Amino acid sequence: MMRRSLIVAATIVTATGLVGCTASSTPSVMTSDTSLDGAPLELQSGPEGLRTMGTMDAGTAARDIIVTGSALITVDSPAEAADETARIVESAGGHVDARTETAPRNGFAGRADLTVRIPADRLDTTLEEIGEIGTVEERNTQSVDVTQVTEDLDARITALQASVDRLLALMTQATTTADLIAIETSLSDRQSNLESLQSQRASLADQVDYSTVSIQLVSPAEAPVDEPDTFLSGLITGWEALVAFFSFVLIALGVLLPWVALVAIAIAIAFLARRRWRRRRNEGDTRRE
């Protein structure tokens, strides 16, 4: 029985050691403008809009590239442009992660800010289509090569999965409570680490498959009001105000004149009617006398 427990313990230690060896070194994320030996590399637009390393041979496996970007576009109506941008992104198979709209006020341009996720293989064509909504003032993209990170995660996930499978097999062979507890403890740790790595791998794959782009849609700024700063400009401003006042008075008279004429006619009719009525009354009094 002691020998069997020792075998179980040794197997657990071996499984743990294999996983530890796999996870002993985790390469950091390598930016897309640096090669493995530190020499600069030129980024090129690969097939279907993906960024690939400039020194890669045709037979080299595809790289895992995370592409992010931003764009500043001037449009007539930011709200309408935001609706059109969302439609273009969704038609490309992407989606809008965030959207904020600000109305123009106090001379500041109205704007709409969107954070969109666009399939990496349709990034360039989608951005070109979005750019046709207005005038592109600024546009940039950044690329990060995460191939080593994904390969390391894949290796660690494979090793952890194998360790979990071995521990599950050992659990069915455990004959003592101590062995079972030891296996369950180690299995719990391995499964927790495995789930964490799988989550990291899924998040990385999502960033590779869908590029994140921040888009700012702004309307042209309103022209500032010129304030008079000299005697001549003050005189011109005062004259324009005087002309505007008399123009307003003339317009008001033009609007009121028909009504004044109508009221005058009504008053004249009333006056004549009253005068005629008083004349008839005076004639009646004279006859009675």
CA distance 59 to 50: 16
Q: In terms of domains, do 94 and 188 share one? A: yes
Q: In terms of domains, do 289 and 161 share one? A: no
* Residue 8 pLDDT exceeds 70: no
Q: In terms of domains, do 242 and 209 share one? A: no
Report the number of distinct structural domains present in the chain. 2
Q: In terms of domains, do 171 and 269 share one? A: no
Residue 125 lies in a domain: yes
- Going by C-beta distance under 8 Å and a sequence separation of 6 or more, which residues neighbour residue 118? 89, 92, 94, 126, 127, 210, 211, 213
Query: Are the C-beta atoms of residues 86 and 114 closer than 8 Å to each other?
Result: yes
Exposure pattern of 244-265 as b/e (b: 16+ CB <10 Å)?
eeeeeeeeeeeeeeeeeeeeee
Residue 105 lies in a domain: yes
Q: In terms of domains, do 94 and 151 share one? A: yes
276 lies in which domain range? Answer: 233-289
Q: In terms of domains, do 208 and 249 share one? A: no
Q: What is the pLDDT of residue 19?
A: 46
Residue 118 lies in a domain: yes
Q: Which helix (H) or strand (E) holds 97?
A: strand 95-102
Q: In terms of domains, do 182 and 269 share one? A: no
* Residue 203 pLDDT exceeds 50: yes
Which of 72, 213, 46 is closest to 138 using CA atoms?
72
* Residue 28 pLDDT exceeds 50: no
Tokens encoding 83: 């609706």
Residue 226 lies in a domain: no
Is the model more confident about 224 or about 53?
224
Looking only at the bridges linking them, the beta strands covering 65-74 and 210-218 are parallel
Last residue of a domain, which of 218, 242, 274?
218
pTM for this prediction:
0.55
pLDDT in tens, 96-141: 999 999 887 776 678 999 999 999 999 999 999 999 999 999 999 9
